[in-house]
């Protein structure tokens, strides 16, 4: 009864998997070789990354003027991308920490990749606050480090400073949490690794994991503690990012709804990105049995809930902007002014992508449709990018003094850096997919008997109390003793037959010994291997061979595997000549 799960629950691992299958399926991409598709995608990502790197170098060496910003809109794509990437980095910790605390077992198939995505996304996000600075080489000034500048200290009033702490804390906790979970899986790869180099690397990575009960106990404890630590971070990070806007005086930014709305939006976009990545990964790495349609549906439900929160927030923002009666609120990013103004397309892109399209997921058929889910997840990612673009650019473009109203259009550098971070993200993710266990196999194994397809079926067939280790349909063991005898008898027969043949051969050509053997390799088609075989039979000299006829060659053919029958025709002639020399 210890592995009981209600039969109505759909299995989380399908396809009759046993423990060994899990291991095999998950290490396959690591131990195997990358296919052509991987190389193509990786090359594209790498090129994009290098292009972005070039754009960053150009920006840092020339000035922020290479971007499309101006005196009115001093942030645009940079902070849009920053918030977008931070948002994407939200799903990982939610899945691994919050769902762990809530004992949601379906998280086990996806948490590893979701966390990896989180970390890679936060790395991208972290780039922007640094490169968007006018003097990025002084970026360390935002750290509260004792310095030689006298009493200079950071400004703890600034939300940007809170960002520094929030993002760095989030990144480090996520990294530790992710890595902790990886330990048993690395150990598994280490134990399987055949090449010494690989074994060495993975044994370093696995921190000497031994698989003892004590290891497992500590592992579980640390996971719980970290989950407890990470859970508030899920809320805090985007709350603090939202303070960048909410604590300002810019109409449209200054909004008390921002913290919860940003968190919901972040989870919304994070899950969308997880969908995008996992739908591809399950296909490419043949993990359909672990990341099932069920998983996808469950994630779609999270998307529905958070999307709903976001939608309500939009409506609230729109309503409040109108309800204030303040003319300064007429042009905020969710307002009538925005919907009809020069940025109408950005406004409607937001509404369409984030509010309308996700509504289709209310229909079960669409929710379980993998292709549609994939399309929706990409649309949500686009929509969430527009949300941040709208908040930043639309609100700034029509500020309080109309004389300073302006608009923004990106330069190739803006675009290049964004594409570069996409490239960088995928480079990291693709490398991860080929060198890390992409599913937390140790955890999946812990629920295999509970929720594996095979075991569920077993329980269904034989009752809940079935002993899963005493498999009922085992065949009786074969009669090993008889088999051995039979085999020996057969070998003896063969040996006898060979002896007779050799005897008759030597009778014809005469005996010889190894003492002054001729060099048989001079015969056509004879190499060292064949010479050895001939010697074993007792053929040493040219004289013996010169006496051979077709009959003898037929015997040799039977005695020696892969005997060069066609060449042996010449041997007696050749041997004759060689003998006379």
Q: By the criterion CB under 8 A, which residues form the site for other proteins? A: 62-65, 68-72, 74-75, 129, 132-136, 138-139, 141-142, 152-155, 157-161, 164, 244, 247-250, 322, 327-328, 330-331, 336-337, 340-342, 396-409
- Give min distance, CB of 420 to other proteins, in A: 21
Smallest distance from other proteins to CB 354, Å: 22
Q: Which is nearer to other proteins, 24 or 74 (CB)?
A: 74
Task: State the minimum distance, in angstroms, from the CB of residue 328 to other proteins.
Answer: 7
In angstroms, give the least distance from the CB of 269 to other proteins: 23
* Segment (H or E) for 370: helix 370-389
Which three-class secondary structure string do you get for 261-317? HHHHHHHHHHHHHHHHHHHHHHHHCCCCCCCCHHHHHHHHHHHHHHHHHHHHHHHHH
- The strand ranges marked E within 12-113 are none
Residue 254 CA to residue 303 CA, distance in Å, equals 26
Min dist. Cβ of residue 316 to other proteins (A): 17
Handedness of CA 204, 208, 210, 215 (dihedral sign): negative
Q: Which two tokens stand for residue 412?
A: 């190739």
74/215 with CB nearer other proteins? 74
Closest CB to other proteins among residues 409, 504: 409
Please report, for residues 59, 92, 203, 569, the alpha-carbon distance to residue 525 in angstroms, rounded to integers and kept in the order given. 71, 66, 50, 11
Give residues with Cβ within 8 angstroms of 517, minimum separation 6.
535, 540, 541
Q: Closer CB to other proteins, residue 135 or residue 301?
A: 135
**H or E stretch covering 112:** helix 111-131
Whose Cβ is closer to other proteins: residue 157's or residue 516's? 157
Nearest distance in Å: CB 19, other proteins: 52
Find all residues with CB under 8 Å of 438, minimum gap 6, and list them: 26, 29, 112, 113, 116, 281, 285, 287, 432
Q: Are 166 and 240 in contact (CB under 8 A)?
A: yes
Residue 138 CB, nearest approach to other proteins (Å): 5
Q: Which is nearer to other proteins, 248 or 446 (CB)?
A: 248
Q: What CA–CA distance (Å, rounded) separates 352 from 343?
A: 14
The dihedrals phi and psi of 177, each to the nearest 5 degrees, come to: -60, -45
Q: What is the 8-class DSSP label of residue 12?
A: S
Q: In the complex, what is the shortest distance from the CB of residue 74 to other proteins, in angstroms, rounded to a whole number? A: 4
For 371, the enclosing helix (H) or strand (E) is helix 370-389
Place of tokens 């005997």: 563
The distance of closest approach from Cβ of residue 345 to other proteins in the complex, given in angstroms and rounded to an integer, is 10
Closest CB to other proteins among residues 264, 391? 391
Q: Give whichever of 74 and 191 is closer to other proteins, judged by the CB atom.
A: 74
Q: Which is nearer to other proteins, 132 or 541 (CB)?
A: 132
N-terminal to C-terminal alpha carbon distance within the chain: 88
């Amino acid at each position: 009864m210890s592995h009981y799960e209600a039969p109505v629950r759909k299995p989380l691992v399908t396809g009759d998997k046993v423990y060994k299958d899990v291991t095999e399926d998950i290490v396959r991409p690591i131990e195997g070789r990358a296919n052509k598709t991987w190389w193509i995608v990786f090359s594209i990502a790498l090129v994009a990354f290098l292009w972005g790197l070039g754009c960053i170098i150009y920006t840092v060496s020339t000035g922020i003027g290479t971007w499309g910003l101006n005196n009115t809109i001093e942030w645009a794509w940079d902070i849009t991308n920053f918030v977008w990437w931070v948002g994407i980095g939200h799903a990982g910790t939610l899945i691994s920490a919050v769902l762990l605390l809530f004992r949601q077992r379906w998280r086990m198939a996806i948490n590893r990749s979701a966390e990896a995505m989180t970390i890679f996304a936060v790395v991208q996000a972290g780039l922007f606050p640094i490169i968007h600075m006018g003097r990025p080489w002084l970026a360390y000034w935002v750290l509260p480090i004792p310095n030689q500048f006298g009493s200079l200290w950071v400004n703890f009033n600034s939300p940007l400073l809170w960002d520094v702490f929030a993002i760095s804390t989030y990144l480090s906790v996520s990294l530790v949490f992710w890595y902790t979970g990886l330990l048993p899986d690395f150990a598994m790869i280490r134990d399987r690794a055949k090449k010494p180099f690989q074994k060495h690397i993975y044994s370093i990575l696995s921190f000497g994991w031994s698989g003892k009960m004590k290891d497992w106990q500590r592992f579980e404890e640390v996971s719980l503690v970290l989950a407890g630590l990470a859970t508030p971070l899920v809320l805090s990070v985007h709350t603090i990012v939202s303070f960048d806007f909410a604590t300002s005086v810019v109409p449209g930014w200054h909004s008390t709804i921002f913290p919860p709305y940003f968190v919901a939006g972040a989870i919304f976009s994070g899950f969308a990105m997880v969908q995008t990545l996992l739908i591809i990964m399950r296909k490419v790495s043949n993990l359909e049995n672990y990341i099932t349609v069920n998983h996808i549906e469950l994630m779609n439900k999270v998307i529905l809930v958070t999307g709903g929160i976001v939608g309500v927030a939009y409506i609230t923002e729109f309503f409040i902007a109108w309800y204030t009666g303040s003319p300064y609120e007429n042009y905020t990013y969710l307002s009538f002014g925005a919907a009809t103004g020069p940025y109408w397309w950005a406004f409607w892109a937001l509404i369409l992508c984030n509010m309308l399209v996700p509504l289709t997921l209310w229909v079960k058929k669409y929710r379980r449709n993998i292709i549609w889910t994939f399309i929706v997840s990409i649309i949500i990612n686009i929509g969430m990018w527009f949300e941040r673009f709208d908040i930043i650019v639309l609100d700034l473009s029509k500020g309080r003094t109309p004389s300073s109203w302006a608009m923004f259009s990106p330069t190739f550098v803006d675009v290049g850096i964004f594409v570069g971070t996409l490239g960088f993200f995928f480079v990291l993710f693709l490398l991860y997919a080929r060198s890390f266990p992409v599913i937390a196999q140790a955890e999946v194994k812990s629920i295999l008997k509970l929720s594996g397809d095979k075991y569920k079926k077993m329980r269904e067939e034989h009752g809940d109390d079935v002993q899963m280790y005493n498999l009922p349909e085992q065949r009786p063991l074969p009669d090993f003793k008889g088999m051995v005898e039979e085999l020996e008898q057969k070998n003896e027969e063969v040996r006898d037959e060979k002896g007779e043949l050799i005897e008759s051969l030597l009778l014809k050509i005469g005996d010889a010994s190894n003492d002054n053997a001729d060099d048989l390799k001079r015969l056509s088609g004879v190499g060292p291997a064949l010479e050895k075989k001939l010697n074993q039979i007792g053929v040493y000299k040219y004289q013996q061979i010169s006496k051979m006829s077709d009959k003898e060659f037929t015997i040799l053919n039977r005695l020696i595997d892969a005997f060069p029958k066609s060449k042996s025709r010449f041997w007696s002639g050749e041997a004759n000549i060689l003998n006379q020399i």
